[in-house]
Amino acid sequence: QVHLVESGGGSVQTGGSLRLSCEVSTKTYWPNCMGWFRQAPGSPGEKREGVAVIFTGNGLTYYADSVKGRFTISRDVPENTVYLQMNSLKPEDTAMYYCAVARRCGYWSRGDMDYWGKGTLVNISS
């Protein structure tokens, strides 16, 4: 059974920073990509937005336009952990942030991932 353990959410003011972490609970599942998605509060019917993804083999990263230059995704391959450093946070970054991993990553931007975390809440006040 694969579980994703997320941490690092919280409340900060506009312009602040937060660092999210997500660890894959088992060392028998090694994803080829690890990513972060988010869903704004009060929008349960809307699709989760792909924020950033990193390919574990070569470190290649992709970011949503809304976070480029402010967020940085990184990974620790031996620890099977992915991080999201979020700087210059804005109120519109307020959302539940979900970690997700996959072995086949061709459709990561559509949210087609193997496993998902339960989410960690990020709240940015103005």
Confidence of residue 20 (pLDDT cuts 50, 70, 90): very high
Residue 47: what pLDDT?
80
Is residue 76 within 8 Å of 84, Cβ to Cβ?
A: no
Nearest C-alpha neighbor of 106 from the set 44, 33, 31 = 33
Residue 26 scores a pLDDT above 80: yes
Residue 9 confidence (pLDDT) above 80: yes
Length, in residues, of the chain:
126
Nearest to 16 by CA among 90, 121, 97, 94: 90
What pLDDT does 100 receive?
A: 97
For residues 70 and 56, give the distance between their C-alpha atoms in angstroms, rounded to a whole number. 21
Q: What is the pLDDT of residues 92-125, one digit of tens each?
A: 999 999 999 999 999 998 999 999 999 999 999 9
Task: Kindly report, residue by residue over 40-99, the tens digit of the pLDDT.
Answer: 887 766 788 999 999 999 999 999 999 999 999 999 988 899 999 999 999 999 999 999
